[in-house]
Structure 1
Amino acid sequence: MRSTKAASAVERLKERTGNDGYALVRNADETFQLLDRSGKTPETVGERLPLDEFVAFVKTLGPQVVRRQTKSDIAFEKQLIKKK
């Protein structure tokens, strides 16, 4: 099922924010929508989007996880920049 990519994105959002009220809605026209059910009434967050756009949208929500880098990673990225 193609929606596992979207479901995983919503699960990561729940972990980042600590809000278990987020829910994924898959519409009949193969678009996805995010609901916030933490209040009394569910609120839609964003609009209906295709799969890839939906995953990119969900990634922008909530606090971002800082990627840990080693000295080797930093040196490698500097070499890539020099080659351009």
Structure 2
Amino acid sequence: MASARSTRASAAVDRLKRRTGNLAYSMARTADGLFFLSEAPGAPALNPPLELDDFVAFVNGLGPQEVRRISKNDEKFEKQLVRKKPAE
């Protein structure tokens, strides 16, 4: 389970690196399994040690956000979903 946790956290850091262009971001784990991020290995932490879900949310909120690209058909479908909400 520990490797899956680290994989999810490191994937979030990799996405941050792509979004910002800063390849020096570094993630570390504490002995009790909490995560923190720094701008470079050995640099001060940017956050207090966090649980996995909180860490991933923190990292995902940093830097420019990726714009979700949707096709015109997807856009029309989403509008239809909004119009067809069931009556209560």
Q: Give the TM-score category using the shorter length.
A: 0.7 to 0.9
The amino acid that maps onto 1:12 is R
Instruction: Return the structure number with greater strand share.
Output: 1
Segments of 5+ residues of structure 2 without an aligned counterpart are none
Please identify runs of 4+ aligned residues in structure 1 that moved more than 3 A.
none
Name the structure 2 match of 1:5.
8
Equivalent pairs, count: 82
Q: Distance in 1 between matches of 2:73 and 2:34?
A: 41
Identity %: 52
Letter in 1 for 2:45: T
Aligned to 2:28: 25
Map Cα deviations across residues 59-80 of structure 1 (whole Å, 9 max, x no partner): 1100111111101111121122
User: Structure 1, unaligned stretches of length 5 or more?
Assistant: none
Root-mean-square deviation (CA), in Å?
1.6
Residue of structure 2 in register with 1:73 after alignment: 74
SS in 2 for 1:44: coil
User: Partners in 2 of 1:19 and 1:34 — Cα distance?
Assistant: 13
